[in-house]
A = this chain, B = another copy of it.
């Protein structure tokens, strides 16, 4: 894990550093079901959609120098009392605990903000590091949408819906 990783609310000025790795992840199309040609504008509007009053938050994981390692966004899923969240970690910093730090932070903060449960709607079943991480944070697979995701190499694979009470 990067030393002294800090998780704080994202500000507009973080966007270029976020997009630098988000574009790589989105364009690869292996873990996120966004269009692989999602525009920077659409990505930014979506990721920062909680700004401006809506209940929810967008955070970044940074080190002491301000380098952005990863990011997460969290807000209401359908109803106001169940949260959902999305996470992206710079692939150059994978396996160093950034995702876990973000996950723990988001669970705690969602609970503190009054959400009663966390639901992830689309966890690609072949993304085993993510599935293992979310399980270790208490998330269970509620259901798997058959062939819910089209992986560029593996073809159609299942999409887990994961859930835990907070």
Q: Cβ of A78: which chain B residues have Cβ within 8 Å of it?
A: 33, 121-122, 148-149, 159
A residues 55-105 in Cβ contact with B at 8 Å = 78-82
Q: Cβ of A161: which chain B residues have Cβ within 8 Å of it?
A: 142-143, 161
Give the secondary structure class of A's interface.
Answer: strand
| Contact call B147/A163, Cβ cutoff below 8 A | no
Q: Number of A residues contacting the other chain (C-beta, 8 Å)?
A: 24
- A161 to B145: give the CA distance in the assembly, Å: 10
Annotate A131-166 by CB proximity to B: 1 below 8 A, 0 otherwise: 000000000001101111110000000010101010
A136 to chain B, nearest CB (A): 21
| Contact call B35/A145, Cβ cutoff below 8 A | no
| Contact call A82/B148, Cβ cutoff below 8 A | yes
Residues of A within 8 A of B (CB): 33, 35, 78-82, 116-117, 119, 121-122, 142-143, 145-150, 159, 161, 163, 165
Top-5 shortest CB links A-B? A143-B143, A33-B78, A33-B79, A142-B143, A78-B122
